[in-house]
Amino acid sequence: MSSADKKEDLFPTIGNVVDQADLVPVGEKDQGVEEDEKVVTEIESLCMKCHEEGITRLLLTSIPFFREVVVMSFRCEHCGTQNNEIQSAGEIKSQGTAYTAHILDRADLDRQIVRSSTCEVTIPELQLTLPPTTRGQLTTVEGLLRSIVADLSMDQPLRQIQDPNGYQAIQNIIDKFKDILGDDKDEDLSDDVSPTKKASAKETPMPSFTIQLDDPAGNSFIEFIGSMSDPKWSQRTYHRTLEQNIALGLVNQEEVEENRVSQMPRVANPDVIIDSNAPIGDEEVLVFPGTCSSCGHPIETKMKKVNVPYFKDILIMSTNCERCGYRDNEVKSGGAISEQGKRITLKVEDREDLSRDILKSETAGLSIPEIDLILTHGTLGGRFTTLEGILNQVYDELAEKVFMSGDSSKVEDKEAFRMFLDNLRRIKEAERPFTVVLDDPLANSYMQNLYAPDPDPNMTIEIYERTWDQNEELGLNDIQVEGYEGEPHVDEKKDEEVKS
């Protein structure tokens, strides 16, 4: 049995767990079942309220589109104490994750939420922030809101007497949550009282709001509907700060202080002394000490200037952490900001074209019209590789990270995506001709001309003027280095044009 099969057996999906539980006869679900056949593991635990023996039930399961988790449920038959908790069964991820879901109608209240103990929850419309807790949760948006209402309502009667102003401020928040849940404002719901009807099934109008999950450990999740292209759902990954790594226990603060290094750049050869005012030479490799964003230990980022023939100077930066294996490569332009954008169109006819060097900057977008492939500006970051290399990377990213299996996927969506991947595979192997369009509003991208310095018959280069929206997205509208004392700001000029 392979390691993948063992992992699947250890962490079955929720649907498989339910199917397995249905196969156990009703009278044998609690007794007469072999230990290996039990769906839920039961452990005797001490109740911290009455100090009698209670039962903790553990369920190892896999949440579709997410990862493996351990769901724990404790109940004491003597005093009735209950406690539910969820913990991640996987390792802390190399990057933190931030999720945003726009709750626009009542159906969105049924979205599932996995909240780890390190996750911070924010609802901007209500100016409410829930800091990290001591335990995780597996709930829905409605369940999270009801737990917030229950916590806020707990001391309200006492607060009404001792602190009327604080009582009124908290009561306003509770009333807003009850408007969202569709509950009567005079109704008092505690942890022991369940609502008579789900909030998603009610027909009263619901105010829209946004829920944000920020987890440095990367072990939290909020469900999307249909696919990852859900317009009301977004995911963002980020590198953790040193303080976050220390809080997660990944880095020893004392070790960080001992290994603190200077942040001044130096050359790879310590015998070479550089002048800070002198330009960077083509053979020099600058080394910038820093901190690994994954494990927090000291690392070095190396940078070298490279001249691309018939193009311009570029800067290649490489980071490699020897402790955790984190690697990152990035390419940036070494020249000034271009006044115009550039669009390169290449007609690929055979495998020889796949060996062309391609420099894709972080502001460039790439598209292949024949298969409706569109990579927006910034996708994959800056890359200096071959056309075959970048197509292989696109194929690997889509084949591994786009989830087209599970309970929420449709048969027609699976078939369409399978055909798309098959067409992409044929293209990256040059089994059929296709067209590559590389569009960079900063003109910092490049595709090798095999006929240089003569024009390439299969390549078309178009120079165009950037739109105001493109300049705004790139932050160029706010840059004004000449005559800024007396002239109005670019945004003010635009407002005047709109008014006229």
pLDDT value for 83: 81
Mean pLDDT rounded to a whole number for the chain: 75
Write down the pLDDT at residue 345. Answer: 92
Q: Which of 51, 69, 88 is the last residue of a domain?
A: 88
Cβ distance 63 to 69 under 8 Å?
yes
Residues 321 and 379 in one domain: no
d(Cα 378, Cα 361) in Å, to the nearest integer?
Answer: 8
Confidence at 122, pLDDT banded by 50, 70, 90:
very high
| Peptide bond connecting 298 to the previous residue in cis, omega within 30 degrees of 0 | no
Between 419 and 61, name the one with better pLDDT: 419
CA-based angle 300:305:308, to the nearest 5? Answer: 140
| Residue 26's pLDDT band (cuts 50, 70, 90) | very low
pLDDT band, very low/low/confident/very high, at 408 (cuts 50, 70, 90)? very low
The counts of H helices and E strands in the chain are: 11, 25
**Which CATH number goes with the domain that contains 117?**
2.60.120.1040
Decide the pairing of beta strands 383-386 and 459-464.
unpaired
- Taking residue 389's Cβ as centre, other Cβ atoms within 10 Å add up to 16
- The number of domains in the chain is 4
Checking if the pLDDT of 389 tops 50, the result is: yes
- pLDDT at res. 210: 93
Answer whether residue 484 is part of any domain: no
Instruction: Provide the pLDDT confidence category of residue 121 given band limits of 50, 70 and 90.
Output: very high
Kindly state whether residue 152 falls inside one of the protein's structural domains: yes
Kindly state whether residue 243 falls inside one of the protein's structural domains: no
- Asked if residue 268 is part of any domain, the answer here is yes
Element spanning 177, H or E: helix 164-181
pLDDT the model gives residue 280: 59
- Whether residue 188 is predicted with pLDDT greater than 70 in this model: the reply is no
180 touches 199 (CB < 8 A): yes
Q: Residue 273: give the domain boundaries.
A: 252-333
Query: Same domain for 361 and 417?
Result: yes
Q: Is residue 260 part of a domain?
A: yes
Instruction: Please tell me which residue, 171 or 36, carries the higher pLDDT value.
Output: 171
pLDDT in the model for residue 213: 93
Taken in order 384, 386, 388, 389, is the CA torsion positive or negative?
negative
The tokens of 303 are what? 């940078």
- Cα dist. 358→309, 331, 377, 387 in Å? 12, 12, 16, 6
> Is the predicted pLDDT of residue 306 greater than 60, yes or no?
yes
Between 468 and 89, the more confident residue is: 468
Same domain, 259 and 356: no
Whole-number pLDDT of residue 120: 92
Provide the pLDDT for residue 16.
60
Structure tokens at 74: 């404790």
Residues 31-83 have pLDDT tens digits of 444 444 456 788 888 888 888 889 888 887 766 545 567 788 888 988 888 88
Domain match, 426 and 304 both: no
Residues 212 and 102 placed together within one structural domain of the fold: yes
Whether residue 46 is found in the same domain as residue 177 = no
Q: If you average pLDDT over each of 13-27, 310-324, 325-339, 353-367, which comes out highest?
A: 353-367
The pair phi, psi for residue 8, each rounded to 5°, is: -65, -35
Q: Is residue 441 part of a domain?
A: yes
Q: Domain check: are 375 and 421 in the same one?
A: yes
Q: What three-state secondary structure class fits 336?
A: coil
In-domain check, residue 483: no
CATH of the domain at 273: 2.20.25.420
Q: What is the mean pLDDT of residues 435-453?
A: 86
Residue 400 has pLDDT above 90, yes or no: no
My answer on whether 58 and 158 are in the same domain is no
pLDDT tens digit string along 257-280? Answer: 655 544 444 555 555 555 555 565
Q: Which of 238, 269, 293 is the last residue of a domain?
A: 238
One domain, residues 58 and 113 = no
Return d(Cα 122, Cα 109) in angstroms, integer: 16
Range in 71-80, 433-442, 468-477 with the lowest mean pLDDT? 468-477
The verdict on 219 and 307 lying in the same domain is no
Decide if 65 is inside a domain: yes
Over 90: is that where the pLDDT of 422 sits? no
Q: Are residues 203 and 178 in the same domain?
A: yes
Contact criterion met (CB below 8 Å) for 81 and 49: yes
DSSP state of 311: S
CA nearest neighbour of 258 among 220, 296, 301, 203: 296
Percentage of residues of the chain with pLDDT beyond 70 = 69
Which of the given ranges, 31-40, 228-237, 455-464, has the highest pLDDT on average? 455-464
* 170 and 265 part of one domain: no
Position 151 confidence tier, pLDDT thresholds 50, 70, 90:
confident
